[in-house]
Amino acid sequence: MGESLYSIKINRLGGDPLDWESFKHKKILIVNVASECGYTGQYSQLEELFRSNQDRLNILGCPCNDFGGQEPGEAKDIEQFCKLNYGITFPLTEKIKIKKDPHALYQWMTTRIKNGTGDFEVEWNFHKFLINEDGQLYSSISSGADPFCEDILNWLN
């Protein structure tokens, strides 16, 4: 079965602890994001997906500079970039590490013994993890798949 997603501590981009209560009983799409990536345009699709499915979906963006150094900014820079360029309203976490000394959230999502589902590797920015309403990992989707891909839409419906 693995560990519980909801027991993992992570801060929001502004520094306050993320409250998992608002995520419970909804599907969750967790994405490692970066401001200077070829996939950064996916922010628009993520926001559209979030706004059109808020009753049943939460999206959590996790800024990370591990892949190509494409998220060099500090928290205020990241927040400003996301709001000004993409109107992001879904929550963003503090800037985290994934490749070396990964944050507990990514340890959970990438390790079968922790998530109870499988071992997964994050290869680049905008990798997507799908979490079911019960907090269980459902699937991992590569960076190149856009947020409106068939796998995500089928999972939502």
For the annotated catalytic residues, the residue numbers are 37
Strand partners, 131: 28, 137
